[in-house]
């Protein structure tokens, strides 16, 4: 039997009301991180963050739609055919405007073996960045998404 796992995106465990799919764990990948995130139109609640704490660099690729990657005081449009890498210590944020986006996010630890964070496991807790306090307006916008 072939060593292969094939799933439809809807078959992966979702968190944030379907906004993030735990693709790495669902496929059984252990050598790098991988999630698919769905950002609705006019979305600005994706948290500004970096990966200095776990030394992960990330690669972003649009599977559909477009998003703005805000990093280093610059904005980069992530759309079909565009791939971006962000270093571990660099703060980044994703926002959308009139259209939403479905993004593949791949992470790894340069020069080290990948260590999956607990929150990426199926049935795991939410990521630490999800613990920030949201305003009532932000909570309402997330509930609509």
Which pLDDT does position 75 carry in this prediction? 97
Helices (H), the chain: 23-27, 136-144
Q: Is residue 135 helix, strand or coil? A: coil
Three-class SS state of 139: helix
* Range list of H helices, 21-62: 23-27
Predicted local distance difference test score (pLDDT) of residue 142? 52
What SS3 class is residue 52? coil
Whether 54 contacts 109, CB under 8 Å: yes
What the block records as the tokens of 106 is 């791949």
**Per-residue CA distances from 117 to 20, 32, 37 (Å):** 15, 11, 17
Phi-psi map region of 72: left, alpha, beta (phi>0 left; psi -120 to 50 alpha):
left
* pLDDT for 70: 97
Beta bridge partners of 85: 59
Q: Mind listing the domains of the chain with CATH numbers?
A: 9-144 (2.60.120.10)
User: Of 48, 56, 52, 38, which is closest to residue 104 (Cα–Cα)?
Assistant: 38
Mean per-residue pLDDT pooled into runs of 10, the chain (145 residues): 94 89 95 95 90 91 97 96 96 95 96 86 76 54 51
């Amino acid at each position: 039997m072939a060593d292969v796992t094939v799933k439809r995106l809807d078959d992966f465990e979702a968190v944030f009301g379907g906004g993030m799919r735990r693709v790495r764990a669902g496929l059984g990948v252990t050598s790098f991180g991988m999630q698919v995130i769905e950002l609705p139109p006019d979305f600005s609640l994706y948290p500004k963050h970096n990966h200095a704490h776990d030394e992960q660099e990330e690669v972003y690729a649009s599977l559909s739609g477009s998003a703005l990657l805000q990093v280093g005081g610059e904005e980069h449009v992530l759309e079909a055919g565009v791939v971006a890498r962000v270093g571990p210590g660099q703060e980044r944020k994703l926002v959308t405007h009139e259209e939403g986006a479905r993004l593949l996010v791949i992470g790894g630890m340069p020069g080290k073996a990948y260590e999956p964070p607990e929150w990426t496991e199926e049935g795991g807790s939410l990521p630490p960045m999800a613990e920030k306090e949201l305003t009532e307006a932000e909570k309402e916008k997330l509930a609509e998404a």
